[in-house]
Amino acid sequence: MYFFKRNKFNKLKSFIQNSKEIQIDIEDRGKLIKLIRPTVGIKTKPGSDKNIKVGKSKIGGKPDLPQDFEWPEANGKPMLFCAQYNLSEFTKYDIENILPPKGFFYIFLSTDQEWNDGFGINQPFKLLYSKNENVIRTDLPDKLDDSQTFKGALIEYFEFYTLPDDENYRLNEFDEKYHDFYFDFYQPTGDYIVDELYTDSIGFHQILGYDRAIQSSVVYDFASKELGLYGVAVSEHQKRWNDILELSKIYELLLQLDCGDPNTNLSEFWGDGTYYFGLSQNNLANRDFNDIKMTYQGT
């Protein structure tokens, strides 16, 4: 159980304990409260490199990089810079001190004009962690032009909480026990989080916590990638489901990047879906960000 001293957590806990909209046993309400995880919420507002200070967390524009940074490439072409996250800006919301207190995460993605990379299936990407806080605003490589940059948006962080995705393995016991666990618990709780606790927050950006999946919990995608089963025929996927399920239990979400955010134009390249980045629990505990898994989900 996590120890919170946050007002919004207490409100969420009280709702789960007392709401008549929730139709499950008191004992199970307590179990579900114990599953709640602190999460770093992210919201954006329009901005540009002219008014976003060097080193601030942002989406798009030109990146702020260490001088010796090597711009990542795929198939001989520079990847597209998508976002940078200054860890020192959200350390107070990382309640369990999971991530380093300083440094940057950078996201680069690649695609081609024929969409052969396939929205996360074989798409080259880099999620990089840099300890170096001495950064400068960096021009794009010569092989990129202005059409391959994204509209800037300033990132702001806030206190947030998440529950496992309704199809996550952690909720299987409740799905088996209740005739319609989704409507008995998950939908009213999800609506309360969005409509009452975070009315000013839209989109699927976040750091840590449980994934807010568009389709099914992304830990299954991470496991499928490790097993070489990501994007294969459904029949083959089903044959190996037990293997996928078991391996999925080692993965955690690191962050989500919402391409449908109206303050950015990421959707011009990648639609209105969300990119999810994760890693094993062991690597997260060791702050080792060298083996990141990525998946994309859209409607």
Closest CA to 56 of 153, 151, 158: 153
Q: Is 195 part of any domain? A: yes
**Residue 184 to residue 143: CA distance in whole angstroms:** 54
Q: Which H helix or E strand runs over 17?
A: helix 7-18
Q: Is 11 part of any domain? A: no
pLDDT at 268: 86
10 Å CB burial of residue 182 (0-12, 13-18, 19+) is middle
Total structural domains in the chain?
1
Domain of 274, in residue numbers: 23-297
**Residue 35 to residue 164: CA distance in whole angstroms:** 8
Question: Tens digit of pLDDT for each residue in 224-275?
Answer: 999 999 888 888 989 999 999 999 999 999 999 999 999 999 998 888 899 9
pLDDT at 3: 45
pLDDT at 202: 65
Per the prediction, the chain carries an average pLDDT of 91
pLDDT at 7: 84
Q: Is 15 part of any domain? A: no
Q: Is 274 part of any domain? A: yes
CATH number at residue 166: 2.30.320.10
User: In which band, very low, low, confident or very high, does the pLDDT at 201 lie, cut at 50, 70 and 90?
Assistant: low
Q: What is the model's pTM?
A: 0.93
Q: Is 6 part of any domain? A: no
Q: Is 242 part of any domain? A: yes
Q: Is 151 part of any domain? A: yes
Q: Is 157 part of any domain? A: yes
What is the number of other CB atoms lying within 10 angstroms of the CB of residue 141? 13
pLDDT at 43: 94
